[in-house]
Amino acid sequence: MVVHGKCGIGGYTTNFFRVKKLINVHSYAGGIGTVHQPLARSDLVASKIKDWLSDMPNLISRDVVNDIQCDHGVMPLIGLDWIFLKGKYKGILLAAIGVDVNENIFPIAYAVVESENTLSWTWFLELLNEEFCERSDLPALIIVLDRQKGLQAAIKTVFPTSEQGYCMKHLANNFKNAYRNSTLTKLYWKVACTLYLSDFDEYMTKIKSVNAEAYD
């Protein structure tokens, strides 16, 4: 996925492309995509806030959020998934989760439904969206999912401006089942986790040398 956009609340515009090459050009400030650009982890954010407060003691939290978003292209992220309930009470558990600044997963919302389909996901997301509508300072969401068609349709209905990303573990399982090659699976994870363009190109070339179909 290559995201083109501009900083500012409500000012994000995006396009999606098939992931095959990493395009190292972005319109965000701060040089996103350069090999020396650090991730917006809690220690980095804390150091920036410390520097800002020394010059602007009246800085408010919303200003911090806007600056971090502009410097690093940070957008709110939630994950959506489901699981069968196999205990005394049957059904399907739908869940929305988030990740805090310490990279810990925490639940945002959950519900038990009779079946996992577009209708149940739409109902769940509409309730979730009622809470997000109260946060006018939030830009478009990034929603991570497992490519379930019913969920994809519900997201397009309830969160039409959101970005959709796919769970790398689910994709890895599909990749593993399709090619049944441990070398390819390891290379897949190297491609998925690398932060550097040179490494990305190197691992993609290795995948191509092992299996051209997997590369495509």
Instruction: Kindly state whether residues 45 and 125 are assigned to the same domain.
Output: no
| Rounded average pLDDT over 63-76 | 71
* pLDDT of residue 155 exceeding 60: yes
pLDDT at 159 over 70: yes
β-strands 163-166, 105-113 pairing: unpaired
Note whether 114 and 150 are same-domain residues: yes
CATH (domain of 100) = 3.30.420.10
User: Residues 41-69: what's their mean pLDDT?
Assistant: 78
Last residue of one domain, picked from the residues 74, 104, 135: 74
Beta bridge partners of 166: 145
Residues 73, 68: Cα–Cα separation, whole Å = 7
**Last residue of one domain, picked from the residues 21, 40, 74:** 74
User: Among 8-22, 73-87, 160-174, which stretch is predicted with the lowest mean pLDDT?
Assistant: 8-22
Q: Going by DSSP bridges, is the β-strand pair 90-99/77-86 parallel, antiparallel, or unpaired?
A: antiparallel
Residue 81, pLDDT > 60, answer: yes
On whether both 193 and 140 belong to a single domain, the answer is no
Let me know whether 210 and 184 are in one domain. Answer: yes
Residues 105 and 32 in one domain: no
Residue-level pLDDT at 54: 83
Per-residue exposure over 120-133, b if at least 16 CB sit within 10 Å of its own CB, e if not: bbbebbeebeeebe
Q: What is the mean pLDDT of residues 197-203?
A: 91
Q: Based on the domain organization, do 7 and 22 belong to the same domain?
A: yes
Structural domain of 205: 170-215
- Which pairs with CB-CB distance under 8 Å and at least 24 residues apart come from 98-103? 101/41, 101/42, 101/45, 102/42, 103/41, 103/42
Domain final position from 47, 74, 101: 74
Helices (H) and strands (E) in the chain, counts: 8, 5
Same domain (yes/no): 107, 178:
no
pLDDT higher for 55 or 31? 55
42 and 89 together in one domain:
no
Q: Are residues 105 and 40 in the same domain?
A: no
* 132 plus 161 within the same structural domain: yes
pLDDT in tens, 89-133: 889 999 999 987 677 889 999 999 998 999 999 999 999 988 876
Instruction: Kindly tell me if the per-residue pLDDT of 13 is higher than 60.
Output: no
pLDDT at residue 56 above 70? yes
pLDDT band at residue 170 using 50, 70 and 90 as cut-offs? confident
Label residue 134 by pLDDT band (50, 70, 90).
Answer: low
* pLDDT for res 39: 62
**Are both 143 and 176 inside the same structural domain?**
no
Q: How many structural domains compose the chain?
A: 3
